[in-house]
Amino acid sequence: MLNGAPVSPLRKASDGSWCRYNFRGEVEGVACVGVILVKRWSDQVVVLIGRWPPEADEKRLKDFETISGSLALLPER
């Protein structure tokens, strides 16, 4: 869940992009992305979903997290 709302799983599409699907198997909004940026904070892995290149710097990551709203917290393995 993200801010109290359920977050549907990401699945890799045939073109290699990652898409978020709703319960009917339809792509949700503009959730298809080409890049998933990962940043670690203490005991969590934060997955930032967007179209920016993986070499994005810390400032861009912070801006992206703020504007995207697509953020999932996963336990570190």
Residue 17, pLDDT score: 59
For 71, the domain range is: 10-75
Whether 4 maps to a domain, the answer reads no
Where residue 20 falls among pLDDT bands split at 50, 70, 90?
Answer: low
Phi, psi of 18 (to 5 degrees): -105, 135
CB 13 within 8 A of CB 19: yes
Q: DSSP readout, 19-32?
A: EEB-TTSPBPTT--
Total of domains in the chain:
1
Whether 57 maps to a domain, the answer reads yes
Q: Is residue 22 pLDDT above 50, yes or no?
A: yes
For the chain, the average pLDDT equals 49
Q: Is residue 70 pLDDT above 50, yes or no?
A: no
Those residues whose C-beta lies under 8 Å from the C-beta of residue 58, and which sit 6 or more positions away, are none
CA distances from 16 to 4, 10, 21 (A): 29, 12, 15
Whether 51 maps to a domain, the answer reads yes
**This prediction's pTM:** 0.24
Whether 5 maps to a domain, the answer reads no
Whether 22 maps to a domain, the answer reads yes
Q: Mean pLDDT over residues 7-34, rounded?
A: 55
Whether 3 maps to a domain, the answer reads no
